[in-house]
Each structure stands twice: as C-alpha cells, then as structure tokens.
Amino acid sequence: MDELLCSASMIKIFFDSSSFFYFAFFCFSFLRFMHKKMALTGPVPIPKICLRENQKAVSVSQKPIHEFELSFNHALPLPDSDDAIPLFGLGTWQSKAGELKVVIRAAIEEGYRHFDCAQGYMNQGEVGKAINQAIEDGLVTREELWITTKREELWITTKVWNTFHSYEAATKSIDDTLKEMNLEYLDLVLIHWPMGYEEGGDMFPKTSDQKGMRFSDVDYTETWRALEVARMEGKTRHIGVSNFGIGQIMRLIKMARPKPQVVQVEIWF
C-alpha cells in the first residue's frame, strides 16, 4: 500500500488561453499528500525513478530525486504493473477551440509523450485528431517507439466525468472516449471527482436557483467497478482517481481489486 501511494503522485502541465505552459513538480504534491498519509500508516519510502521503454519500466534507480537531471524519458514505476507513468505530461484543460492541434504537435516534437485529457474538458475529439495526425505524419514512428503499433510511446490519460458515475454510464463514458479519440485503448482512466452529478445531457446540472449543482446518490465505488471491468477488458491499461481525499482513497484501497494505481492532485502556484 505504501508503494501504491508513493508512486501515485503525478505531474500535470497546463497551458492557459495564451498557450503559456507551466508545470508543478510532482514532489510538491507527493510531500503534501504524504504528510497526511504518514499520520495514518507511518513513514513512506522515497519514490523510485526509472526510464520507460516499450511500455516497461527499465533502469530503476535508488538515487535521491534531487540528483536527477530529469527528462521526458523519466517515469515513476506503477504498482501492480511492470510499466511506469511519465513524470512530465501535457494537460489539455482550458484550451480554446483550434488550439490543441498546434500545441500537441509542438509538444510531441519537443519530447512530450504523456497527454492528460478528460471528458469534462470537452475537447477530447480535437486531442485525438491531433495525436493521430502526428502519428500519420511520422512524428512518432515505429523505430522510435520500439513497438508493434504506432502509439505505445504515447501515454494517454482520461477521466470519467461526474455525470457518468453509475456503472452503466461510466462504461459508456469510456467507450465514447475511445471512439471520440479514435484509439484502441487508453493508458490511464481516472474517476475525475469522488462526487457524482445528476445524470443527463447537461455536464454541469444546476439547481433551480442556479446557485449549486444537482448531485446524484451514486457511490464512487460503483464508478470504480466500471473502471475495473474496463481494465480487465483491455480498454485501459491502468486505473486510478483524481481529487480524492485521504479517507476516500483508503476506502477504495480496502475494497478494490485491483487497487488504484494513480492518485492525481493539483498544485497551484
């Protein structure tokens, strides 16, 4: 369990409406998270850093994190897997329509291989088109990827939105994402938030006075079951959660098979 939470921290790199990039080093989220975790379970080992080749963690090092000259090839080994999640990723939140084609292409050219998406960002179709176009144009080739298909060097993350928390809706959400992005599988699917909204066509269902959200009674453990099945069926290689608190994470750890492999949190400067 310590290994799970130790390797769960994750970098997110965002760009605003001006396509300005900024990033938060995963160590900050790790330290904040572990400060609370240690009160429950005691000290946690320092995360290992590795290189990632052909969807596998290689050259795992025990050196302290501050001794590394980190690159796009460095990654964190994941529990219950021989793979590792790239340390640096490009977030696609708050992008304007038409921005992503240029941004994602430039990111791939610079070495990014991890793209963080979400159904709630309402731009996954554009992300998928940009990624597939880059592959077709030869920016990512078989020779560069040590692979048998043309996208295994890329790491694609998505999140199930709050209005899709029932088992059936979450399953459909994952299927729709694969179709929308024109992908055969995803690398990581997260539950975006622990609370669910009322299901329907509105992504942000408001109360009648427009001052709050209409919540559902669906427990996030039901959403998690859909993620477990999606992993077993090969629709995603890894599963985890986003914006969950300590108590919610510990509850999933006690009941889930498999357990969450990634916990994604945000750090703002």
What are the catalytic residues? 121
Peptide bond into 258 cis (omega under 30): yes
From start to end of the chain, where are the E strands?
Answer: 13-15, 21-23, 49-53, 56-61, 74-77, 84-86, 90-91, 114-116, 155-160, 186-191, 236-242, 262-264
Residue in this structure with the two tokens 């088992």, named with its chain if needed: 167
Residues 51 and 75: beta-carbon distance below 8 Å: yes
Beta-carbon-side half-sphere exposure of residue 110 (alpha carbons within 13 Å): 13
**Residue written as tokens 């979450």?**
170
Q: Coil, strand or helix: which one is 64? A: coil
Q: At what angle do helices 167-181 and 220-232 cross, to 10 degrees?
A: 50
- What letter represents residue 12's amino acid? K
Query: How many other CB atoms are there within 10 angstroms of residue 117's CB atom?
Result: 26
**Diameter over CA atoms, the chain:** 57
Helix, coil or strand: residue 259? coil
